[in-house]
Amino acid sequence: MSEQTMVVRERRTTETTVRVALRFGGGSADVETTIPFLDHMMTVLARYAGLDLVLRAQGDLRHHLIEDVALTVGAAVAAALPATAARFGERTIPMDDALVQAALDAGGRPYYAGTLPSSLYQHWMRSFCDAAQVTLHLRVLRGTDRHHIIEAAFKAFGLALRQAAVDHGAVFSTKGAVVLTEGT
């Protein structure tokens, strides 16, 4: 495991309770969300992104739980990314009939473009990008099986995130490091 400290984020609403602890490390996952496919996708993401992830979530509706997991994981990833990360990552993954490309910029600008064959996981990606402050373009190049397409998307996204998170010791921006502070 990495020597990096675990980043912990919690989100509590009247609808959901989500707790995430993660760090960029070896890709281990301990996930319990009450939604088996979401558990599977979070485990896939952790493995391919190289995240050591502990995730506990429960909620009233699938939509609320999936969205709040994305927001909480996104916030934790944003906090765990090194300031001198490589910033950019791109991967294309085949999975049986599916072929999905992910291109990512972890430079602090939230944006998502893509079309997944599930409104819930389409929303997961958008919510993650908003909370993590990353740009993600997903392209489904081929595929008919929804499970394969979504899983290939999480694998491609995870590998692109792993590539973008590598600490290169330099800020990859002509602006230098961007620092936001709260005004008084």
Q: Residue 140 belongs to a domain with what CATH number? A: 3.30.230.40
Provide the pLDDT for residue 182: 74
**Is 94 exposed, middle or buried, given 0-12, 13-18 or 19+ CB atoms closer than 10 A?**
middle
Output the average pLDDT for the chain.
93
Number of domains in the chain: 1
In a domain, 1, yes or no: no
Classify the C-alpha dihedral 47-116-107-128 as positive or negative: negative
Domain annotation covers residue 181:
no
pLDDT higher than threshold 60 for residue 128: yes
Q: How is residue 52 annotated by DSSP? A: E
Contact between 91 and 156 (Cβ < 8 Å)? yes
What residues pair up with 68 in beta bridges, in sequence order?
none
Domain limits for position 128: 7-165
> What tens digit of pLDDT does each residue of 67-117 get?
999 999 999 999 999 988 999 999 999 999 999 999 999 999 999 999 999
CA distance 46 to 53: 6
Q: Is the residue at 172 inside a domain?
A: no
Asked if the structure places residue 182 within a domain, the reply is no
Q: Is residue 170 part of a domain?
A: no
